[in-house]
Amino acid sequence: MGSPLSPVIANFFMEDFEEKALLSAPLRPKCFFRYVDDTFIVWPHGPDALKLFLDHMNGQHPNIKFTLETEKNQRIPFLDILIHRKEDGTLGHSVYRKPTHTDLYLNGRSHHHPSQKAAILSTLLHRAKSISDAESLPSELRNLKKTFLQNGYSGKEISKALKRTFTSQDVMTGEERQKPIARAGIPLIPTVSGKIARILKRHGIEAYFRPPPKLRGQLVTAKDHCGLQTPGIYQIPCTCGLVYVGETGRTVETRLKEHQRHFRLGQPEKSAVAEHSISSDHAICWEKTKVLCRIEKFWERLTREAIEIRPNTTINRDTGYSLSASWKPVLRSIRKERGKRREALDQSQNTCPG
């Protein structure tokens, strides 16, 4: 909704709207509960009067219109809750699933950290515990156990999740209450990631695990090449052999046009490319601009830009984002590997028959 304040302001407006509409209504519902844009009411005045109440609510403001859904077979869904009327007139509640629900979740045999798979079980069990009433909870737990088994989870894993969910844990040590000073995402590698996580935990850093790239992301896509119509790291070469390395969250094409405009208008203070061309009287090879890598996330772009900037080969005014000294051995290894690849490529081209 744009600004972070928009939902809060919208909620203030709706509270004022509802208060005035209900006070002016000829007949009022027994209860009126709203969550964001879903409203639950109990109407004791009959279906004809309910239609008049709907018309009254829709006539309060030209931009606020309600739709109506009534109970069927003494049941009605509201958010994730299926509310049903009991024989004694009271209301019962259980977990609601859409008719298109497939009961497919993260498979228990997938290559994810055990904590991520355990969170799937705990989340669904916690939802069942929070939503279901005492009469509906046993059948919901039976359904979840069947679903977990179908998704590859063992009986032992299910039992542990049940114990975590339904056993109170009121006693917590000071160490458990202490929040981590930082969080770090590390790739999931068996026998390695756990050791790294334990080391980080000793220094107050909580580690979360990222699964390896999926096969779908590694396969070549059938889409056309984006060219410069993408955000990421780009390179603009000069006829002198130096290059400019930059990053942008917009498209590289848009950023390139800005560099060209600053050069054309003689504004070297706004572009390192324009400054180099004007001060050195060098021609910039605008048409040879290329995307080094496509990255949308801000901090990843800053890090990759700093890696690509080299003082001896670039015309950048600075080295970009300041990298930690721990990056130095990694960068040396990467550059060494790139050098070997270039040598191998040169040798292959020299040995090719004319």
Taking only the tens place, the pLDDT of each residue in 225-254 is 678 888 999 999 999 999 999 999 999 999
Nearest to 208 by CA among 229, 184, 179: 184
CB neighbours of residue 309 within 10 Å: 21
* Average pLDDT score over the chain: 86
Q: What is the pLDDT of residues 153-194, one digit of tens each?
A: 999 999 999 998 888 554 444 445 567 678 888 888 877 888
For the chain, give the percent of residues with pLDDT over 70: 92
Q: What is the pLDDT of residue 171?
A: 45
Query: Domain of 302?
Result: 232-340
Burial letters 57-73, b for 16+ CB under 10 A, else e: beeeeeeeeeeeeeeee
CA of residue 310 relative to chain centroid, distance? 33
Please state the domain count of the chain.
4
Residue 109, domain member (yes or no): no
pLDDT surpassing 90 at residue 59: yes
**Over the stretch 122-157, which tens digit does the pLDDT of each residue have?**
999 999 999 999 999 999 999 999 999 999 999 999
Asked if 34 and 88 sit in the same domain, the reply is yes
Q: Tell me, yes or no, whether 207 lies in a domain.
A: yes
Pairing of strands 243-248, 31-35: unpaired
* Whole-number percent of the chain with pLDDT over 90: 52
Same structural domain, 24 and 80: yes
pLDDT for 173 equals 47
Predicted pLDDT at 351: 62
d(CA 283, CA 278): 9
Q: Confidence class of residue 110 from pLDDT cuts 50, 70 and 90?
A: confident
CB contact at 8 A, 108 and 114: no
Kindly state whether residue 278 falls inside one of the protein's structural domains: yes
What count of residues does the chain have? Answer: 354
User: Do 70 and 143 sit in the same domain of this protein?
Assistant: no
345: in domain: no
Q: Is residue 55 part of a domain?
A: yes
Same domain, residue pair 189 and 161: no
Inside any domain, residue 171: no
56 with 26: CB under 8 angstroms? yes
Give the range among 24-28, 71-75, 111-115, 213-217 with minimum mean pLDDT. Answer: 213-217
**Mean pLDDT across 320-340:** 77
Residue 78 lies in a domain: yes
Range 99-108 average pLDDT: 92
Q: Is the pLDDT of residue 220 over 70?
A: no
CA distance linking residue 98 with residue 121, whole number of Å: 20
Instruction: Assess whether 255 and 328 both reside in one domain.
Output: yes
On the CB side of 104, how many CA atoms lie within 13 Å of its CA?
Answer: 4
* Amino acid code (one letter) for 48: D
The answer to whether 286 and 256 are in contact (CB under 8 A) is: yes
**Predicted local distance difference test score (pLDDT) of residue 151:** 94
Give the model's pLDDT for residue 60: 92
Question: Kind and range of the H or E element at 306?
Answer: helix 298-308
pLDDT at 345 over 80: no
Q: Is residue 176 part of a domain?
A: no
Q: Tell me what pLDDT residue 346 has.
A: 72
